[in-house]
Every structure is written in C-alpha cells, then in structure tokens.
Structure 1
Amino acid sequence: MSEQNLPTQRARRQLLAGSASALAAAGLASFTRSAQAQMASAPAANLPPVPKPFPPYVSWKDTNAMILHSSTTIETKRASQGMGLITPAEHLYVRNNLPAPAASILDDREAWAISIEGVKNPRSLSLRELKTVGLESLPMVLQCSGNGRGFFPSKPSGTPWTVGAAGCVVWTGVPVRQVVELLGGALPGMPFMTSTGGEVLPAGIDPKSVMVERSVSAQAMGEALLAWELNGQPIPLAHGGPLRLIVPGYQGVNQIKYIKRLAFTAQESDAKIMSHGYRISPPGTPSDPTQPSVQEMSVKSWINSPLPERPGTAGPVQIQGLAFAGAHAIKRVEVSVDGGKHWRDARFIGPELGKYAWRQFALAVILPPGTHQLVSRATDTAGHVQPEQRLENVHGYNNNSWADHAVTVTLS
C-alpha cells in the first residue's frame, strides 16, 4: 500500500506497467548500435511526447486526467471532470503553497497533535483524541482561488488554471464547534479563527514570510471541520493529511493542510500569506492589508460537455456542466448556445448533496452543423448571479465570469 493509502485498481495497473517497462529495459542490451542510431536520428515529430513524471507524493494520481504545472500545482483536465457528483481523489487537483512535509508524518496518523488556543481551557489534542469528540461528513467544493486565472488576458503570475483547480469531495472529521465546546468555548473579543499549517519551513528566514497561516471569521467555526478522511479514506499527504481544516464555502487557501494550531484571535494573522497574499489588488497596485482578502467563493458554473476536443456531431446534443457557490445553494442554471445572446433554463440532474456541493445540470438541444459558443450562468438562493465579466485584479483571483468559461465547439 502506498503512503497515500489508496490501493486502487489504477495503482495496480501502474505496477504491472512498471514491471513490463523494467523487463523491456533489461533487454535493451540486445539493440545494435545501428538501431540505436536510427532511433536517435528519428524526427522528434514522429515520437509521442514524453509526459513529465509526477512527484512521488502524487504518484498515485491518474496522470492521464491531470495537467502537471509544477511539483506543487496539478490541474484536473476539463474533459476529465466528467459528470460525477464526487471527484475521485486520483482526479482531484493539487495546490500547495509549500512543499509537502515528509511522508513519515503519516506513519502514525493518530499521534498528530493540534494546539487549540483562544478558548477557556486551551490544550493540545491528538488525532486519536479528536476522534472521540465528534464525527460528521460534509460534501463540498474545494477550489483554488486562482481557478480561472488562465482566462485573464493580463496573464497574472501564478498557475494558469482554467477550470481544473476545483473538485467536489466528502470530508469526514470532527466539527470545530464541538472541540471548542469541549474546551469551554471561545474567549470573548476573538472575532477571528486563525489556523496554522504544519509544513517544514526553510531555515534562516522569518517564518512569517513563508508560513501558511490564515484567518477567517470566527463564525465559520459553526460548520468547519477538523478532517481526517477524504472520500472515505485517510487524507493523502498531497491533500493535507493526517489532519486538515475544512471551512465550507471558502476558497482553498483557507482550508489549512497539516493543521497544527487553531486559535481564536483578536486580530487577523500577520503572516505574509494573510497580510499581503491572496488580496484582491486592483491592476497596477501592490497588495496590502486594506484590500479585500480571498475568503468565500462566488457563484460559478461551466460546461464540461461538449468540448472542443470532443465536440460530437450535429443534431440532438446534451449540454452538461457543473455549478456551485459559496455560502448558498444553487437555485438556477441557464445555458446559451449563442454566446450569451439568448438563454434557456437547464435542469438539475443527480441528487442534491447540500449547499456546499456542486450541482450537475443538463440541457437537451438540437444544434445544426457549424460553430457554436456554449456558456452557462448560475444563480444562487441569495439571488447572486454569475457575472458576464471577471473582476480584474493583479493576481487573477476569484474569476467567475461566464464569458470566460464559455466553450466553442464545431459540429459536423
């Protein structure tokens, strides 16, 4: 079993494939120099591209379904998101602000400890102890705040995600509110819940300059979890195992991996990732603490089928996609086949898993041969409508523009 505790059929297939490769490698000595020279001189265009190897901590991912941007940023292909309500762990995107800790932290998951502060009776609790306090499961969308950055014409620095830095998964753990109740409640005058990750920090620099520490409203405690399972399995190292803070409805940067400290505080964290990082900075301005922080998600949707790479044929077409919001459930999704000139109501398909999960939608249409611009527009139960245009900002955060997420398909 791998360090990620994911003994899937795909992992077994990889093992078999790796064994076959090893046998093939053992026979390379039988190649003649002439054959080797012919291979070396073959035009590169005739050779299939060699995929970049995935880092060991994510070697269990489905490489055919993912885009490797870097060792800490891996995107799900739009065509691989499918229509399933729950994203398989092997298809879930990866975004880490720091390199993952050593896999040895998973050797004894139950011994992992978190310090709870800013409560009447502060103390450290092990994962083993947390499991005795309470238990809850929560389906929710996990999304990087830069999802959609790749659509910004200004090409902000950072990973050029399109739609693949998001997934809908089930977290299982103990509600934060129950842990706080156990310890006598939060102290008065503490409006923030501040959480610190357990990544190993580089030596010789100010820890506040690189540490992952974020603050959200203390009211978020009501539905937050200290989670130890992802889709019914122990959380893999790549996704924050052995213990991760989950704040439903908030962008991914606030879902602290390897959490080692949860504190109720009078002020927001002064770590750089909070004070200057993940701020909605207007174009041409440096980030600073006065600008809005990346917190809750906005209403959003996109189409996953048909796509340019698999357009299908003219005639009856089922347009399919996904929609979600932050603190509110999805109420309505409209679809346009002419770039937003005319709209039709789509229907929801599949079960509703709660306001924090995404909804599947579909619209049956008849499309003639030719090129069509397909787009979706979602509305949540609070009346927020997905906007046509993105909010321009330096770092490419919170892009929920329906125009940016349109797809153009040509049907024959």
Structure 2
Amino acid sequence: MSNAPEIRRGHDDPGPDNPGRRRMLMGSAGAMAAVSVLGFIPLARADEPKSLPDYAAWKERSALIVHSTNTMETVRGAIGSGVVTPSDRLFVRNNLPAPSDEVTANADAWEVRIEGVKNPKTLTVGELKQMGVATVASVLQCSGNGRAFFPHGAGGTQWSVGAAGCLLWTGVPLKDVVEALGGPAEGAQYITSTGGEALPDGLEPKTVVVERSVPVKALETALLAWEMNDESLPVTHGGPLRMVVPGYYGVNNVKYVKSIALTETQTDAKIQASGYRIRDVGVKGAPDQPSMWEMNVKSWVTAPLETGRKGRNMIYGVAFGGTVALDKVEVSVDGGRNWKNARFLGPDLGPFAWRPFVLAADLEPGEHRIVSRATDAEGNTQPEQRTDNERGYGHNGWKDHGVTVAVS
C-alpha cells in the first residue's frame, strides 16, 4: 500500500448537459517578492496584533487567524454547523498578492483565453454568462490544511483545520464552453489554467506564475465561476473569474483566471512541476511525484473544543469525501477505543460538499479525547495516522485532528 495520501482518479460525474438553462449540479521584485509569493510576509512584529489586509478587510476579524498578508485561517470554533460557509469567515490563501479591486469594477469585461480547442477564442465574462450557468456546492481546501500537526516542522503556513470551507459556486460549466468552441483538440490530456496576478519583477515568470494542470476528466465538473455564495466573486477569492474544480485541492482552483488550455502535457511552471507534490521528508519536488489533485476523505470536530458539562453533550463537526459522497461519520469520546455513528445535519448538497454532523454523547467528569473519522461511499476511511511528507500535504489522519475536552 502506498505511503502517499490517496489521490483518486476516475470518479466522473457528468451531470445534465444543457447550456441554455440554469441548473443545479449537486454532484458536482527581489527577495521580498519571492517571500510574498510564498505568503509569509508578516503583517506586524510578533508582539503586535495582526489586522486584516485591505483586500480582506470586509471579513469577520474574530473568526480568522491572520498568519500573513496572504494567509488567513478560519478559527475552528467559527466553522459552525452549517453546510455553506459564510463568505466573511472563509479562509484566505494567495500564492501571489491579489490584484486591486479595479478588476471587479467591470467584471463582465474580464477576458479569458481558451486554447486547445478546435476554435480558440478570447471570451469576456459577459459572453460566458450567455453560454450556460450552473451552481455547485464544493469544499475549498488548501493542500496544507492540517500542516500544523506534522512533527518535522513542514515549511509553509501552519494551518490547523481552518484552511477549508464549503461554498456555492455559480458560473458556466467549462464543458459547455469547450463544446461551443468545437470541442477539445486532439491529444488533450490536461486542463491547464493560468492566473492573472501581476508577476514580481526580477523573477523568471515560470517560477512564480500560478498555473496548474489537472486531468482532462475534470472537464465533466469544472466550472468558470463568477459568483460565490450567490454574490459576485470578490477579489479576495479570485474575482472576477475563477476556475473551480470540485473535489480538488484549492491550488487547482485558479484565481483571476486569464487562460485555459487543453494540453497534452502538464505545465512546466514551478507550482506544478515541483510544487504541490507528495514526497518524503527531505526530498525535493519533481514531476514524477503525486500531484495534489483530488482530495481525500476527511473530518474533524468543531464543538465542543475545550470544556463540556457532565451529562448530555452535543458534539459537532464537518466531513467530506473529496470527489466521492460520504457514507458515514463515526465519533469517539475516548480517543478512538470506542466509536458511535454520528448523524448528518442539513441538506445533502452532493458529493463535493461537506456534511455537518452531530452526536449526542453522555460524558462523565474528566478529560475526554474526542475524535471523528469519515468513510466515503467507496469504503475509503480516514486513517488513524498522518502520512509524513516534506510539505505537510493531504493530512487526513483522525488522531491528530481530535480535541481534548475537560468535563466538569
């Protein structure tokens, strides 16, 4: 059995195919510049409180842990028990500084170039809106969510569980756009998306550009989104146009998308060729290593987090299966010795969405280690332990994600 986190391939969900109507797809400069690319520029000295940067100032400050100008994490207790994550509580992760708000002032004028099709063309968002529209509920999760639990000190933002949220994305199915342009060119194996951020001066573009390739089978579910949670997509999260690949890690959901090409090979941009690759601790990234594409099955508890009371306690959490629907979630209040099935909360918004869950548990005074483990419809269950890897990617081990609650 491989030591790499599971990277599933082949779970397509084509869904309905009419581009003329709205449909709900329920399935579906120098050193400082380089530092900025990685998202580690501090907002303040360690002894000063960190405030929200201007481009994210509209968010709820108390619900976020501000790691840097480019990385903000949702507080575990602020995730709540709803299916859809409020936009003002959603985590932020940018590989490059966000553009100014001017790019969304006339969102319909934003242009994206479509290549690797029989009839390549540059389209505006306004034109895309006439080609089809759909809404999909999908989890957005950073590849490094859970990195803080790795003992070897994996480089990057030390996310706990808050680099994830479940959103409603609205836009045109990429498949509709490709078909309108004559279909894929011969030999297409990947969908390669390029972001529209300004690149830092003094650096080779391919070392910093946000350009990602995913298997062409994602064409069945990918979306060019201009709305998030029924509102215009803000610059903070990739507006005016973002590639959304349901069930895939966030890095593949390219923001400010300016170019999409169906290609025979993966891009040679650093973020793809060596970045976001699963490798052993101490090993450099390389194109032959597993790429952070499809997410694995995962869950964690969101309440209670520190204290509880003797007797009946309601234990809440969230769970998702990546590209596969969930079957069940189990909860243990004794560190994994005994398990009970939890109950799903709220509507099922499809295999790409998360399912909030709850378990009513009678707790005696003392400390209780509360953990959860999810199982998807194909029988894949969260493992107990993490899979150690250099960058701290893909952590879905249930043991690390638990909480210790003191009951009195």
The percent of aligned pairs where both chains have the same amino acid is 54
What are structure 2's unaligned runs of at least 5 residues?
1-46
What residue in structure 2 maps to residue 43 of structure 1?
Answer: none
CA distance in 1, matches of 2:304, 2:200: 45
Root-mean-square deviation (CA, aligned residues, Å) is 0.9
CA distance in 2, matches of 1:77, 1:56: 20
1:372 paired with 2:386, answer no
| Structure 2 counterpart of 1:75, one-letter code | E
How far the C-alpha of 1:50 sits from its partner, in A, is 6.0
Deviations 1:145-171 (A, max 9, x none): 000001111111100000000000100
TM-score with structure 1 setting the length: 0.87
What residue in structure 1 maps to residue 287 of structure 2?
Answer: 289
Structure 1 ranges of 4+ moved more than 3 A: none
CA distance in 1, matches of 2:48, 2:229: 31
How far the C-alpha of 1:285 sits from its partner, in A, is 1.0
| Structure 1 counterpart of 2:376, one-letter code | D
| Structure 2 counterpart of 1:221, one-letter code | L
Deviations 1:170-197 (A, max 9, x none): 0000000000010000012110000000
1:387 paired with 2:395, answer no
What residue in structure 2 maps to residue 258 of structure 1?
Answer: 256
| Structure 1 counterpart of 2:253, one-letter code | Q
| Structure 2 counterpart of 1:90, one-letter code | D
CA distance in 1, matches of 2:317, 2:367: 19
| Structure 2 counterpart of 1:148, one-letter code | G
Match of 2:356 among 346, 360, 366: 360
| Paired residue secondary structure (1:54) | coil
Match of 1:268 among 266, 269, 272: 266
| Paired residue secondary structure (1:326) | coil
| Structure 1 counterpart of 2:63, one-letter code | A
CA distance in 2, matches of 1:359, 1:52: 32
Match of 1:407 among 394, 403, 406: 403
Where is the helix percentage greater, Structure 1 or Structure 2? 1
Deviations 1:290-312 (A, max 9, x none): 1111100000000011101xx23
CA distance in 2, matches of 1:161, 1:329: 25
CA distance in 1, matches of 2:89, 2:359: 25
Match of 2:322 among 318, 326, 332: 326
| Paired residue secondary structure (1:86) | coil
What residue in structure 2 maps to residue 14 of structure 1?
Answer: none
Matches within 5 A, 1:69-148: 69-148=67-146
Matches within 5 A, 1:9-408: 51-308=49-306, 311-408=307-404
CA distance in 2, matches of 1:64, 1:134: 38
How far the C-alpha of 1:281 sits from its partner, in A, is 1.2
CA distance in 1, matches of 2:282, 2:106: 48
How far the C-alpha of 1:104 sits from its partner, in A, is 1.2
More relative contact order, 1 or 2 (CA 8 Å, 6+ apart): 2
What are structure 1's unaligned runs of at least 5 residues?
1-48
What residue in structure 1 maps to residue 4 of structure 2?
Answer: none
TM-score with structure 2 setting the length: 0.88
